[in-house]
Amino acid sequence: MLRYLVKRLLLAVPTVIGVVVLVFFAMRVLPGDITDKMVADFGLSAADIARLRQQWGLDDPLYVQFVRFVGDVLRGDLGRSIWSRRLVTEQIGDQLPATVELTVAAMVISVTIGVPLGIMAALKRRSWWDFASMGVALLGVSMPTFWLGLLLILLFGVRLGWLPMAGTGGMAFLVLPAFTLGFHSSAVIARLTRSSMLEVLRQEYIKTARAKGLRGRTVLWKHALRNAAIPVLTIMGLQVAGLLGGAVLTETVFSRQGIGHMAARAVLEKDFPVVQGIVLLVALTYVVVNLGIDLLYALVDPRIRYD
């Protein structure tokens, strides 16, 4: 197990390096920079702009800026926000709890809806339940997150007045954003759970277990579901990190605090250090979550060993 863990961590290093390179250069190839926005917003003079560009190192060659950026990242220093002048790590630390709360709630909703829906669709294949379940899943995959959020605001916020439409607060403020973010993931999980269960239910050992007279629940939970869980766990791991990144639209639609809303604002303001810090955080989350899912495989399926 330890050797496998070390190997996976070493394999993750090129991924993180690639993300660092892409994040840095992607922000630099966008048209304009922070000084253009400052001229538009505050009417700064050419002398002021030249002084700020020199202060922030924007006039240095790209390779010099990149080496400086990598060195700062290795020291755990993500820089300071150009607008607020606060440390990026502090800003992310302030906003991250709200996004984690939203991500966990959305994941609970997606698993609670997606897994049972996929199992029932597989057990009742080609029935009205199967067609209805996959119709809902198709709707969830096809509908854009921001559109679903606006529909929920219109229905439950404006028309019915049951739930708050925007802001950050107690559980009532979490319901609509969490469902908006989790509905798409529940559809993906439902479709994969159904296909995985159908493949397992066709196997000979399932037929043998039934022929021995085992109860249907025992066959389903002990034999079928555990063997079908590997691809489902994989997609869940991808969805967890995807939800963290997908919080950008949801937090913006519902005006919630969080790193998603902060990232959207930073892109519009061309606040490079903040955008780079958030993208790095999401990328590292992908690496850590996928490593954790790989380690869970052995718990779900005893045939898997990491020797």
Q: Does 207 fall in a domain? A: yes
Instruction: Single out the residue of 129, 125, 297, 144 nearest to residue 228, CA to CA.
Output: 297
Quote the pTM value: 0.76
Same domain, 60 and 157: no
Same domain, 44 and 145: no
Same domain, 38 and 154: no
> What tokens does 307 get?
């020797």
- Containing 209, the helix (H) or strand (E) segment is helix 204-211
Give me the phi and psi of 2, to 5 degrees please: -65, -40
Q: Which of 13, 42, 74 is the last residue of a domain?
A: 74
Q: What is the pLDDT of residue 38?
A: 64
Dist CA 216 CA 64 (whole Å): 65
Same domain, 55 and 102: no
Q: Does 288 fall in a domain? A: yes
Q: What is the pLDDT of residue 42?
A: 61
Same domain, 47 and 110: no
Q: Does 307 fall in a domain? A: no
Same domain, 46 and 193: no
What burial class does residue 27 get, using C-beta atoms within 10 Å of its C-beta: 0-12 exposed, 13-18 middle, 19+ buried? middle
Q: Does 113 fall in a domain? A: yes
The answer to whether the CB of 181 falls within 8 A of the CB of 246 is yes
158 alpha-carbon distance from chain centroid: 28
Same domain, 293 and 202: yes
SS3 content of the chain, % helix, strand, coil (to 5): 80, 0, 20
Q: What is the pLDDT of residue 307?
A: 56
Q: What is the pLDDT of residue 122?
A: 81
Q: What is the pLDDT of residue 41?
A: 60
Instruction: Single out the residue of 177, 184, 182 nearest to residue 251, CA to CA.
Output: 177
Instruction: Single out the residue of 112, 109, 114, 113 nearest to residue 191, CA to CA.
Output: 114
Same domain, 202 and 65: no
Q: Does 236 fall in a domain? A: yes
Same domain, 69 and 114: no
> What tokens does 6 get?
């070390």
Q: Does 56 fall in a domain? A: yes
The answer to whether the CB of 225 falls within 8 A of the CB of 154 is no
Q: Does 85 fall in a domain? A: no
Q: Does 83 fall in a domain? A: no
Dist CA 305 CA 303 (whole Å): 6
100 alpha-carbon distance from chain centroid: 10
Same domain, 37 and 164: no
Same domain, 252 and 157: yes
Same domain, 8 and 146: no
Q: What is the pLDDT along the chain (307 residues), one digit of tens a residue?
A: 677 677 777 877 787 788 778 877 877 776 666 666 666 566 666 776 777 777 777 777 778 888 888 888 888 777 788 777 788 888 888 888 888 888 888 888 888 888 888 888 887 888 888 788 888 788 777 888 778 888 888 888 788 878 887 777 778 888 888 888 888 888 888 888 888 888 877 777 777 777 777 666 667 766 677 777 777 877 777 777 677 766 777 888 888 888 888 888 887 777 788 888 888 888 788 778 877 777 777 666 666 665 5
CATH classification at residue 187: 1.10.3720.10
Write out the residue range of the structural domain in which residue 295 sits: 97-300
Q: How many domains does the chain have?
A: 2
Q: Which of 19, 42, 74 is the last residue of a domain?
A: 74
